[in-house]
Amino acid sequence: IDSDEPSTYSNSDGSFSIVDTRNKDFDIVVVTTASTIDTSTGSMLEDVVLSAPKGASVVTPLTTIANESNLSGAEITSVLGLEAIDIFNFNPFNPQADEAAALSVEIVSHQIMNTIRPAANLLDESGSTNGYAQAVEAFGEILLAKVNEGSVVSLSDLSFIEEFLVQIGEIDQSL
């Protein structure tokens, strides 16, 4: 974050408020620290970067993939087999959220992170300067290809994991 960029810390529930007086378009970027706790698991969530476009009310793995891959929210929900929700504003922890949709979004969000984070660690360990960003990009590229094919992806399907690992291997030939 540059010194002239607005920034803030979130509350314990992940909510935040930020004012940008520059009136410019910007992405919302969340950078987790050693004190970040994933409230859905109770686990520490360090060194994760999530993003969403200006105007989003939530920042999640889904918004990150959409934001970084230039896929629309509708394309993301379609390719991942999710109910048609607005991923930029759907909060699965909102007490008024549809329980089935909330559960589906949380499961897919965890699957995304459980796929990307180990791949990012492998890339970092092999000398990458930003394995996390590379893993997010590779994940998004596969989803974009699946959108173009008209496919629906199951993140627990071994063939998707294999395809992702091949993509990661193409980033770093030493893997």
Percent of the chain past pLDDT 90, that is, above it, reads: 58
Label residue 32 by pLDDT band (50, 70, 90).
Answer: confident
3-state helix, strand, coil in the chain (%, to 5): 45, 10, 50
The length of the chain is 175
What pLDDT does 174 receive?
Answer: 64
Residue 155 has pLDDT above 90, yes or no: yes
pTM of the model: 0.87
Question: H helices within the chain, ranges in order?
Answer: 61-69, 73-79, 99-125, 131-149, 158-171
Q: Who wins on pLDDT, 66 or 13?
A: 66
What are the tokens at 67? 């934001």
Q: Helix 158-171 and helix 131-149: axis angle, to 10°?
A: 130
Between 148 and 129, the more confident residue is: 148
Average pLDDT over the chain, rounded to whole? 88
Whole-angstrom Cα distance, residue 108 to residue 82?
9
